[in-house]
Amino acid sequence: MIKFEHSVFALPFAFLGALLAAEGWPTGRQIFWIIVAMVGGRSAAMAFNRIADLRYDRQNPRTANRELPTGKLSLPFAWTFSIVSAAVLVFAAWQLNPLALKLSPAVLAILFLYSYTKRFTTLTHWVLGLCLGMAPAGAWVAVRGTLDWEIVPLTLAVLFWVAGFDIIYACQDVEFDRKAGLYSLPKRIGIARALWVSRTLHVLMLALLFWLGRDTGLGALGFTGLAVVAGLLAYEHSLVKPNDLSKVNAAFFTVNGYISVLLLLFWGADILT
């Protein structure tokens, strides 16, 4: 029910936020509890999303073989797993600092809200982006104990990145969304136009990262990583065409996994050296 590759999207950006906040290595204790908080939040959100979407997952051929629709996992188990995971996030926040603890209920509220946004707004893709964009901001809070403007560009960059690739992923479900009365940008404006919005969001992501890199004094290694990310985004968009969505999963999982990990490696090495 909880896929490891989904962690690859947000966790590297959490580490990057921690490195920027510490201006080097955070303490081992901070790193440990950031990981625990990330795993708890991710697991709670994904389990809750499966619970909230169970009726639709049963009807959608693409998702009908998931664990809850097929009965491989029970609904009580999913509820218990989500509640325990949420408690893990709160406990980890308590171990970090007072502000992290105070903000943890708001974080959970946003994570859980996302599962319902597709029922009433096309902005669902941006809400998912906010869910993952909270990762670097949360790590910043974990390290510094304050929430500062310096982390906003990275938070927005992650928001635009995730919204952009979620729009690509949503192109698969346009017909189902129409039948089920769900909201998505591809359903509202068509796949071709939605893909252009996705490209625009990814250009904005690159612009924000360039701005952040200049502002933090990033060196050649960091900007090389940004160029690699730009190339991967271009490749991602080359895989998906309005009349050919057969490579959406490769664009969604594989390419975006490389983007987050490689950006962490390049920028992390630049910050630490």
Residue 114 is inside which H or E element, if any? helix 98-117
Looking at residue 249, its pLDDT comes to 82
Amino acid at the residue 63: T
Looking at residue 250, its pLDDT comes to 76
Looking at residue 240, its pLDDT comes to 93
Domain total in the chain: 1
CATH number at residue 180: 1.10.357.140
Looking at residue 253, its pLDDT comes to 78
Residue 13: domain span = 4-272
Residue 101 near residue 90 (C-beta atoms within 8 A):
yes
Q: How far is CA 79 from CA 96, 156, 160, in A?
A: 26, 31, 30
pLDDT tens over the chain, length 273 residues:
777 666 778 999 999 999 999 999 999 999 999 999 999 999 999 999 999 999 999 999 999 999 999 999 999 999 999 999 999 999 999 999 999 999 999 999 999 999 999 999 999 999 999 999 999 999 999 999 999 999 999 999 999 999 999 999 999 999 999 999 999 999 999 999 999 999 999 999 999 999 999 999 999 999 999 999 999 999 999 999 999 998 888 777 789 989 999 999 999 999 999
Looking at residue 25, its pLDDT comes to 96
Placement of tokens 């903000």 in the chain: 103
Looking at residue 9, its pLDDT comes to 86
Residue 71, Ramachandran bin (φ over 0: left; ψ between -120 and 50: alpha; else beta): left
- Name the DSSP class of 244: B
The separation between the first and the last C-alpha atoms of the chain, rounded to the nearest angstrom, is 39
Looking at residue 5, its pLDDT comes to 64
